[in-house]
Amino acid sequence: MKKLFKGFAVAAVLSVSAGAALNAHANTQVLDQILEQVKKERISEGKLNKQREQEFLAARADQQAMLNTAKRELAAEKARGERLQKEYAQNEITLAEKETALENAKGTLGEMFGVVRRAAQETIGSIEASLVSAEKPGRAEILRSLAAAKELPTTRELEELWIALQTEMTESAKVSSFEAEVSELDGSTSTKQVTRIGNFNLITDDGYLIYSGDTQSIQPLGRQPDGYVQTLLSHLSILQQTRTLVSTLTQLVVQSCV
């Protein structure tokens, strides 16, 4: 537009000059050139304005397209947010229902858990002090684990408790012999053949023994009973050896028959 005004100004100046020249020289060629220049400037300015208008319209169309895209994305995100909110609310309901079902299922199991823990706690002391532990040590470890557990016991743990109780009852009715380290009264230790009479006595050829569950050690009784008791012990030891021999012979006979 400035070029057009500039062209008009130049044309006006030239027209005045040309008029003067015409009056003076009557030269129409200069006026023709000026007119042609004005026409060219107008055409060029029109093309430039048209190009600018087209660029503006194109830019506005691009911006509108971007705005439409942003609106669609916003609408999609809002829809997604509403969908997720509904799913979250439904999941909260489902979770509450599952927790209720779990608590109902744990009702009897919780009672059983209390029984198992109580049984384990009550059994630890008796098993640790039992003479059976002199022959079969380490049986109280699984009971300690069950007594201190914060979760429901597994099937294997329940079986271990059952085995521990059953072992104690079964071994309490047996007379068995085994080798064990005995702590002598003078502080020395020696390995001896020990006979266990159920859960009542430990004896060797030298006399009675006592078992300490706290230190898990075997030592001689400080004062041995009278001689006739020692004789009974000797007879009992011979009887146990005889029973063991008979049992071995019986197994050999059965195997030979098979």
Q: Of the candidates 115, 142, 173, which is a domain's last residue?
A: 173
DSSP string, 99-118: HHHHHHHHHHHHHHHHHHHH
Does the structure show a pLDDT above 80 at 161? yes
**Residue range 111-128, pLDDT digits in tens:** 777 788 888 888 888 888
List the domain range (segments joined by +) for residue 17.
1-45
Helical packing angle, 2-24 and 28-129, nearest 10°: 170
Residue of higher predicted confidence among 8 and 96: 96
Number of domains, the chain: 3
Same domain, 130 and 182: no
Q: Of the candidates 138, 173, 208, which is a domain's last residue?
A: 173
Does the structure show a pLDDT above 60 at 67? yes
Residue 23 included in any domain? yes
Both tokens of residue 248?
């071995």
Same domain, 210 and 165: no
Same domain, 106 and 169: yes
The overall pTM is greater than 0.75:
no
Residue 51 included in any domain? no
Residue of higher predicted confidence among 163 and 40: 163
**Residue range 184-225, pLDDT digits in tens:** 888 888 899 988 888 888 888 888 888 988 888 899 887 777
- Secondary structure class of 209 (helix, strand, coil): strand
**Mean pLDDT of the 141-157 span:** 83
- Secondary structure class of 91 (helix, strand, coil): helix
Q: CA nearest 167: which of 187, 140, 186?
A: 140
Residues sharing a CB contact under 8 Å with residue 119, sequence separation 6 or more, in sequence order: 161, 165
Residue percentage of the chain with pLDDT more than 90: 6
Does the structure show a pLDDT above 80 at 178? yes
Q: What distance in Å separates the CA atoms of residue 223 and residue 244, rounded to the nearest whole number?
A: 30
Residue 222 included in any domain? yes
Confidence band of 245 (pLDDT split at 50, 70, 90) = low
**Residue range 5-49, pLDDT digits in tens:** 455 454 454 454 544 444 545 467 776 677 677 667 767 776 777
Same domain, 120 and 165: yes
Same domain, 189 and 125: no
Same domain, 95 and 164: yes
Same domain, 166 and 211: no
Confidence band of 92 (pLDDT split at 50, 70, 90) = very high
Q: What distance in Å separates the CA atoms of residue 219 and residue 221, rounded to the nearest whole number?
A: 7
